[in-house]
Structure 1
């Protein structure tokens, strides 16, 4: 009986405990070390969205897109960079990952009536969806980011037209402009150190929003010129209500902090002990030559001089190949008909020059681990994990001023084209610590304003160094600068878009197929069908550009 009584008492004790604890069962499901989506402070989400987006943009503009616009070339692991041999593995998953984080940021900011955070979230939503539409074309937009709601329409979302996405971006940016229009003191819960771009400055975020509006109005200018003209003129007619990034101090940038491999400059040799990420990138001849022709002071900031210049001397005995006083001397018979660059300072690697680019300029150590002393590496600052110039550059005063110079050349009411062009050149030099070089540089032949679109786009292309993605889209829209693919490139033209990835083709088959069907095949895309890097998306269809 005593044993049975003890069992009954124990059971009653457990039952009592359970009854008392029932109200706390939901709390037991809360991870004390985690953050619940319904309770998270939006300021905890913001740094992830900002840093990861900035890194994604740098990884585009400093890596393969720098190869597309021929700022750089690689002499090892070069096929994607030099030759556009991309295949079907270009994934938009990292972009949608950050869009999901950003959606939570916006939702929580709305719930807490935090207008600054709402404005920031709308700018970042526009930036990320803009990149997706720019890179791929049609994409999930209206029904994207809703997978948790269930239903096929959200798990396998439809693709919105590229033009529809651009229209949505412009609408969101206009809303962001209003949300961010108050003085900083009018907002609550701004935490400066979580805003790695602008330290919680709403005016600079407002400038970012309106500068993106300029970017996307110009993006659609060939397809919808009336909308683009009206949009840009409206912004410029009231800069008090629509401030823009008009000098380099307001550039949207993120400094790399260099604490580990994930937050360090991508070509650093601090965490990449092998140094291969730095060693295989070379300056592109397409960029080096026009910069040399105008004594461009940025070249010395971006590039390293050749370690051993070449010299071909007809007075040397046949068979001569030797180094004297740091110069490699070659007799003409040693060179023959092989192309050679004997510039004593900077030598760029030509675009897609061969199937083995490490052999260029008589490199004595060709191959994947080559060290070519006769071609310019990037400046040694790009070996560092961090530095004053090692920044992700999302949009700049230089870009904005060149957009306005182009708009003025079209006859739009935005001010004087020459003034905007010169301000763009000045802003770029200032961003790279070269403001004192402006007067001499702007007077150079080829830099002094000549009224041509080619010159505006050429300087805009140069100014996009390490952020070359926008120059790719400019080239696609204008055909400028007049780039051509090299002899080893996959096609005889510069590519226009990314491939839809294989997972998307398999898992969202009907919607991806419908999007592919709307692409326009070209002579360069026929060998791999409509889902080709050389098929034309909506934004260039019917424009005759770039080729």
Structure 2
């Protein structure tokens, strides 16, 4: 169903992205003007840029936070949470500018499908912004073209934004409830997710509703319970993504760096970005413990395993061939007290264990250009610019079923928790092409349903590979999985939000400081004061999660 995306370049007047001081608008006489543009020209850019934003978080630095991956060079942000206020929300607001244009023009033209789909994208983007930062410009955002009073927008509260997201998704569900033939203006060729299928977009809207009801389930339990139970009780009114072939997942064309899988090697002869990303030991070791076949899809086996034996003569350090495979033989004195992993198949990098992670496992070539043969690289498919499994995953059937399993475990009327748990894992296995292994896997002692939240969230954490933002947001809300910061990390616990950047403090100081004042300082905020990645926004305040 998914179409490979084509990035369309639309020349628009320069709008205010969030709170930039613009005193005039430039009009490109050779471009398409917003007052007459067809929404079908703009909407593909909204979707593709959003999908790229999600995968750039979920495959890159946030994958480091939730310990799916670690980097062995240029690693301080990825491994150690040394963010230093470098996160910038302007790219997300830029997408929202274009999305507002889609909605406004669709309203003028009576294109209800486009109105509904743009509300879905609005909810997804503002949801990401408030999930990452907390309070943010919402009501007054992206209105710089409407008057000077909007150049320094107020920040709405995180609670208000979540409520607005839910309202937008409810409106989208209604707008997308007609048969396809009842809409005008649909061009399936430009819809890179669902080929202009309103029913599929409606399922995406309601699946996002589930996500955000569960997001607020600790702070507003009654609202979340009523919302989820309403959705489950009315499947014809609130259809959901329930099978892997319905996932909101965008493939890549791979025609340029901008349309390729992030860190692919097609346009990077050095392969450095690909080589730096390694599987995290946290994920590798757990997947090995539960015999998870997805490990072999995501990672390569180590090129040269280590073997340490007292039977080797003192001073032994040599690469030999054993049964057609290279092995590095070491005597104990050559290892000393160094931490090593002698697993013959898969070896992950420990979390933030050192300022020089490339030296791990006796790498003979430590440094920024290392090619460590003793640690697992990612599967070679991640070198490619495009491929069947290389998709930016926005919402999946696995996520939907895990949410419903958690809701049912809470005692809410959301169906059978075990059935949803099993369906979630089945959907993930289908996504990654390992369905034939499902039966044996589900029979495993640690995988067979045991009725605990720990198990549901652990499997959801695994299934969120390359879409790690949801794993991080679940961790913040539940404290699960029980992830530990490494010894070289900036703090002793995992962070819970992004910093407000200096540009916002300079250009919109009063409103930014008001938002910062609402953050809760914790024992880990330290020198950052309130504007810290370890200060708690509204969603976490008073919950005791993920740490006190």
Q: How far apart, in 2, do the equivalents of 1:370 and 1:488 lie?
A: 20
Which residue is 2:537 aligned to? 537
Say which SS state the counterpart of residue 327 (structure 1) adopts: strand
Which residue is 2:58 aligned to? 61
Q: How far apart, in 2, do the equivalents of 1:384 and 1:526 lie?
A: 42
Q: How far apart, in 2, do the equivalents of 1:161 and 1:359 lie?
A: 45
Displaced runs of 4+ in structure 1, greater than 2 A?
29-33
Which residue is 2:350 aligned to? 350
Say which SS state the counterpart of residue 292 (structure 2) adopts: coil
For structure 1, which runs of at least 5 residues remain unmatched after alignment?
Answer: 1-28
Q: What are the within-5 Å matches in structure 2 for residues 215-234 of structure 1? A: 215-234=211-230
Which residue is 1:339 aligned to? 339
| Greater alpha carbon shift after TM alignment, 330-339 vs 276-285 | 330-339
Q: How far apart, in 1, do the equivalents of 2:507 and 2:475 lie?
A: 33
Deviation at 1:298, TM superposition (A): 0.6
Pairs aligned (count)? 518
Q: What are the within-5 Å matches in structure 2 for residues 486-525 of structure 1? A: 486-525=486-525
Matched, 1:77 2:74: yes
Deviation at 1:339, TM superposition (A): 1.1
Deviation at 1:32, TM superposition (A): 6.2
Which residue is 2:199 aligned to? 203
Which residue is 1:418 aligned to? 418
Structure whose alpha-carbon radius of gyration is higher: 1
* RMSD of aligned residue pairs (Cα, Å): 1.0
**Aligned with 2:172 (options 171, 176, 179):** 176
Matched, 1:237 2:258: no
Q: How far apart, in 2, do the equivalents of 1:149 and 1:457 lie?
A: 44
**Aligned with 1:139 (options 117, 125, 136):** 136
Q: How far apart, in 2, do the equivalents of 1:439 and 1:116 lie?
A: 41
CA-to-aligned-CA distance 1:134-153 (integer Å, 9 cap, x gap): 0000000001111112233x
Q: How far apart, in 2, do the equivalents of 1:256 and 1:435 lie?
A: 24
Which residue is 2:296 aligned to? 300
Q: What are the within-5 Å matches in structure 2 for residues 105-124 of structure 1? A: 105-124=102-121
TM-score norm. by structure 1 comes to: 0.94
Matched, 1:51 2:48: yes
Q: How far apart, in 1, do the equivalents of 2:30 and 2:180 lie?
A: 32
Q: 1:313 to 1:138 in 2, by over 3 A?
A: same
Q: How far apart, in 2, do the equivalents of 1:509 and 1:32 lie?
A: 35
**Aligned with 1:311 (options 285, 307, 310):** 307
Q: What are the within-5 Å matches in structure 2 for residues 282-301 of structure 1? A: 282-301=278-297
Q: What are the within-5 Å matches in structure 2 for residues 80-479 of structure 1? A: 80-152=77-149, 154-325=150-321, 326-479=326-479
Deviation at 1:267, TM superposition (A): 1.5
Deviation at 1:347, TM superposition (A): 0.2
CA-to-aligned-CA distance 1:485-537 (integer Å, 9 cap, x gap): 00000000000000001100110000000000000011110221100000000
Say which SS state the counterpart of residue 313 (structure 2) adopts: coil
TM-score norm. by structure 2 comes to: 0.94
Deviation at 1:309, TM superposition (A): 0.3
CA-to-aligned-CA distance 1:444-502 (integer Å, 9 cap, x gap): 12111111100100000000000000100000000000001000000000000000011
For structure 2, which runs of at least 5 residues remain unmatched after alignment?
Answer: 1-25
CA-to-aligned-CA distance 1:383-436 (integer Å, 9 cap, x gap): 001000000000100011000000011000011100000000000001111222
Say which SS state the counterpart of residue 185 (structure 1) adopts: helix
